[in-house]
Amino acid sequence: MSTTLTVTDLTLTFPDGSDRITALDRVNLRVRGGQIAAITGPSGSGKSTLLAAVSTLLRPDSGRIELDTSSGTADLATLSRREAATLRRESIGIVFQQSNLVPALTAIEQLEAMVHLGQTWFVSPARRRETRTRARDLLDAVGLSGHEDKRPAQLSGGQRQRVNIARALMNEPSLLVIDEPTSALDQERGAAIITLIMNIVRDHRAATLLVTHDRAHLHRMDSVHHMVDGVLTPETTVVMS
Ligand SMILES: Nc1ncnc2c1ncn2[C@@H]1O[C@H](COP(=O)(O)OP(=O)(O)OP(=O)(O)O)[C@@H](O)[C@H]1O
Ligand SMILES: [Mg+2]
Q: Place 71 in a pLDDT band, splitting at 50, 70 and 90.
A: confident
Residue 136 has what pLDDT?
Answer: 96
118 in Cβ contact with 68 (< 8 Å)? no
DSSP strand pairing (72-75 vs 62-69): antiparallel
Q: Ligand 1 centre and the CA of 48: distance in Å?
A: 7
Mean pLDDT of 222-240: 86
Mean pLDDT of 130-141: 92
Per-residue pLDDT tens for 167-223? 998 888 999 999 988 877 778 878 888 888 898 898 889 999 999 988 888 999 999
Mean pLDDT of 59-83: 93
Per-residue pLDDT tens for 82-116? 999 999 988 999 998 777 899 999 999 999 988 87
pTM, entire model: 0.90
Helix (H, G, I), strand (E, B) or coil at 152: helix
Residue 191: phi and psi, rounded to 5, are -65, -40
Residue 241, pLDDT > 50, answer no
Q: Place 237 in a pLDDT band, splitting at 50, 70 and 90.
A: low
51 Cα nearest atom in ligand 1: 18
22 in Cβ contact with 230 (< 8 Å)? yes
Q: Place 119 in a pLDDT band, splitting at 50, 70 and 90.
A: low
- Ligand 1 pocket, mutate which of 20, 48, 177, 228 (most atoms under 8 A from CB): 48
Strand segments, DSSP code E, in 76-220 are 92-95, 175-179, 207-211
